[in-house]
Amino acid sequence: MSAPVRPSVNSLMNDRIVFEDVSKFYGEILGVNRVNLSIPPGITSLVGPNGSGKTTLMNLMTGLVRPSRGRVEVLGYKTDDPEHLFTILGYSTQFDAFPKGLTGYQFIYSYLRLAGRDAQTAEQMAWRVIERVNLVDAAKRNIAGYSKGMRQRIRLAQALAHDPKVLVLDEPLNGLDPLARSEMIALFRAAAAQGCYVIISSHILHEVDVISDQVILLSNGYVVAEGQIATVRGEIQEHPTQILIRCTRPRELASKMLEDTHTIEVTIHKDEKGVLLKTRDADGFYLALNQLAMNGIDIESIAPADDDVLSVYEYLIGNEEVVR
Amino acid sequence: MITAMTGPKTSGMRIWWAQIKAVIRLEMKKTFFAKRGLWIYLVAALPVFLFIAFAVATSGRQHQRASVARRGEKILTYQDLLAVQPGMTSEEVVAILGKPPVNFHWAENRPLGPGVTANVLRENYHYSDGQNDLFVGLLDGKVESVNIDSGNNLGQDSIMFAGVFQFFFLRLAIFFGCLGIFMNLFRGEILDRSLHFYFLAPVRREVLMVGKFLAGLLATGTIFVVSELLQTAAFLWHFSPSAREVYLYHNHGLEHAAIYVGVTVLACVGYGAFFLVAGMLFRNPILPAAAILIWEFINPFLPGILKQFSVIYYLKSLCPVEIPSPPGTSPLLALLVSNTDPVSAPVAVVGIVIVALIALYASSVQVRRMEINYTTE
């Protein structure tokens, strides 16, 4: 465990989290099916309704369950080799149970001792991570007496305790108050900025939208889309692109827009200071818009209105069980 | 953040040992102070209570004997008690032993023939030399029955101790104690939904398994060795210091006590390994426990080759005191009591270790296959 171990010779990729044709069945129940993924550094969000396979994907990534078919590697490490895998990976699960009778500090300290740290190092690392998740005051209290948010934070602390390169976080913001949420999001961003792989599952789409570098959309055990949000949105052809244009003469702009054959629908904004346009050819629209701007219509801003996770999710999966 | 990819800089064996110690520390707290394990203390304490009760009862009888001896006309020896024979007259008895310190007499109407009865005098004399009781039954002044009740007899008592050790302590107390502790090492964590804590640490699953096994061994070893030592203390308590000294230092008493402790530890090793693997394979502990209990019980009736795959087969061979079958015991029961084909001590120890290693190997295979899927449990 101690020395950095070279990933296996025939490993898939040493700088990615890779799923190669992975399926997982629980008896006859499908967990995930035929998943092929290659996850780069940064924040990657797993998005999907309950039962879509998010937790299964995370459990596969961390070796808590084994694939029925295919293989998973994390930066070249095999997931059935916890001794090496968890030197680079920390997992904050959704399981809300802890070893009995431990305080928050003992929980983290014991984990670090299990990880092979000596007493002094484990103590220092435990306090450092407890401070990072803002639990110093409660650290000496028994976890059984913690609130939901505190339990969530101590689980995060366990995942962060040994400074892993890969952070897998199952619904990490659940139970946290708004302040704690923003603190945690800042923490994830900082980790990603330093080159970490942060894998987050969440139901809360606006948060996913704010923090994710890329998303993996899951539905019924299948990956329905993956990549950067804008790219994913661009690939959804059956839904026209929506663009919000702020301008001084919206009605005039709307009538001119309708002359373009790619424009499907134009709606005047209720404040009469802009239009919402639906087009099948965004690139063609932007060219046409330049022409219009030159014709004297004063355009203040142009912004895509549906290249966020929320819209992509709605287009691909529907309105199932998500929090906007 | 990315200081990772670097674990603690220690060699493999050293870090495994450090991890095993970390597992033991976590498990000991849970094992010793778990509410669900309180019954194990009770089971371990039962034979101690039994020997304490026996010691109290024996001490009471000892005081009674001493009182009878003090009240006698003469200071008697065991040889004096043996001198009384059936057919002697009461005068002859009194001449040898003096006036009885305890004496009961009553008249009895005895049938002599059809319709004919006669009054007879019955008497009971009770003498004691301070250690043993003599009960003499007389009919019309003649000794009819002589009964010597040997008081403290370490030889007999050590057979009783061996019986309690083999038939209660080994086969039931340690068996069920190990079941309660070792089966819960993994199964309890699954039920509490906390096993993932261990599985998320950079620990080889086999190292985790060994850590848990040693924690269970330390817990059961401590509980049952302490019980065993307390049993020995309670067993010897009512003997005089001189009798204790003779037994311990000149009659192999100390050696026997040490062997009992060793057998206790080996029983924890053997049964512990069995129940560790059973706890991983079965959700319901009742079925494997019943199967192992029956397997151990029928061991004397099994063919030689099958006997070897049992813990009790080796443990029985290591026990220092042979339990004799009482006269008239049925052959089946005698087979259960006696050890017909004992193995030598080294073979027995190696045998248990091999049986335990086979079970631990099965555990290591199983622990590598384990998945965290609490919802199906």
Q: Do B194 and A97 touch (CB under 8 A)?
A: yes
User: How would residue B125 be classed by pLDDT, with cut points 50, 70 and 90?
Assistant: very high
> Measured between alpha carbons, how far is A309 from A313 in angstroms, rounded to an integer?
6
Of A98, A117, A196, the CB nearest to B8: A117
Residue B127 domain flag: yes
Structure confidence at residue A323 (pLDDT):
46
Query: Is B166 found in the same domain as B139?
Result: no
Query: Is B163 found in the same domain as B96?
Result: no
pLDDT single digits (tens) B343-352 = 889 999 998 9
Evaluate whether ipTM surpasses 0.85: no
> Measured between alpha carbons, how far is B189 from B209 in angstroms, rounded to an integer?
13
Nearest CA in chain A to B207: A83
What's the mean per-residue pLDDT of chain A?
85
Sign of the alpha-carbon torsion through A57, A43, A7, B372: negative
From A167's Cα to the closest Cα of chain B, the distance in A is: 11
Structure confidence at residue A104 (pLDDT):
96
Count how many domains chain B has: 2
With beta carbons under 8 A apart, name residues in chain B contacting A86: 200-203
Give yes or no for a contact between A13 and A77, defined as CB atoms under 8 angstroms apart. no
Query: Is B311 found in the same domain as B193?
Result: yes
With beta carbons under 8 A apart, name residues in chain B contacting A3: 7, 9
Q: Mean pLDDT lowest for which of A155-159, A306-310, B153-157, B274-278?
A: A306-310
List residues in chain B touching A: CB distance below 8 A: 1-12, 15, 18-19, 22-23, 25-26, 29-30, 33-34, 192-194, 196-205, 207, 368-369, 371-374, 376
Q: Among the three residues B82, B114, B149, which one is the final residue of a domain in this structure?
A: B149
Q: Do B30 and A101 touch (CB under 8 A)?
A: yes
Q: Do B372 and A111 touch (CB under 8 A)?
A: no
Structure confidence at residue A262 (pLDDT):
78
Of B1, B22, B29, the CB nearest to A190: B1
Residue B9 domain flag: no
Q: Where are the domains of chain A?
A: 17-233, 240-305
Query: Is B240 found in the same domain as B139?
Result: no
Q: Does domain A17-233 have CATH number 3.40.50.300?
A: yes
Query: Is B136 found in the same domain as B25?
Result: no
> Measured between alpha carbons, how far is A247 from B297 in angstroms, rounded to an integer?
92
Query: Is B343 found in the same domain as B320?
Result: yes
CA dihedral of B231, B232, B233, B236, whole degrees rounded to 10 = 120
Query: Which strands make up the sheet holding A241-247, listed edge to edge?
Result: A263-268, A274-279, A241-247, A299-304
Residue B65 domain flag: no
B contact test, residue of A29, A62, A81, A83 with most B CBs within 10 A: A83
With beta carbons under 8 A apart, name residues in chain A contacting B209: none
User: For chain A, give me the number of helices (H) and strands (E)?
Assistant: 11, 14
Query: Is B233 found in the same domain as B304?
Result: yes
pLDDT single digits (tens) B150-165 = 777 777 888 899 999 9
Mean pLDDT, range A48-71, rounded to an integer = 92
Residue B67 domain flag: no
Residue B5 domain flag: no
With beta carbons under 8 A apart, name residues in chain B contacting A91: 200
The dihedral region occupied by A56, where left means phi > 0, alpha psi between -120 and 50, and beta the remainder, is: alpha
Structure confidence at residue A4 (pLDDT):
46
Structure confidence at residue A293 (pLDDT):
67
Q: Mean pLDDT lowest for which of A241-250, A291-300, B198-207?
A: A291-300
Query: Is B253 found in the same domain as B354?
Result: yes
pLDDT single digits (tens) B247-293 = 888 888 899 999 999 999 999 999 999 999 998 888 887 888 899 88
Sign of the alpha-carbon torsion through A178, A182, A183, A185: positive
Class of residue A178 by CB neighbours under 10 A (exposed 0-12, middle 13-18, buried 19+): exposed
Q: Do B18 and A113 touch (CB under 8 A)?
A: yes
Query: Is B88 found in the same domain as B48?
Result: no
Q: Among the three residues B100, B123, B149, which one is the final residue of a domain in this structure?
A: B149
Query: Is B143 found in the same domain as B20?
Result: no
With beta carbons under 8 A apart, name residues in chain A contacting B12: 1-2
> Is the per-residue pLDDT at A83 higher than 70?
yes
CATH code for the domain of B105: 3.30.1450.10
What are residue B102's DSSP bridge partners?
B126
Query: Is B106 found in the same domain as B210?
Result: no
From B356's Cα to the closest Cα of chain A, the distance in A is: 25
> Is the per-residue pLDDT at A13 higher than 90?
no
> Measured between alpha carbons, how far is B145 from B135 in angstroms, rounded to an integer?
8
> Measured between alpha carbons, how far is B197 from A93 in angstroms, rounded to an integer?
10
Q: Do B9 and A2 touch (CB under 8 A)?
A: yes
Its CATH architecture, for the domain A240-305, is 2-Layer Sandwich (3.30)
Q: Among the three residues B104, B127, B149, which one is the final residue of a domain in this structure?
A: B149
Mean pLDDT, range B97-111, rounded to an integer = 88
Mean pLDDT, range B199-216, rounded to an integer = 95
With beta carbons under 8 A apart, name residues in chain A contacting B3: 163
> Measured between alpha carbons, how far is B80 from B73 in angstroms, rounded to an integer?
13
Query: Is B263 found in the same domain as B132?
Result: no
Domain extent at residue B246: 14-60+153-376
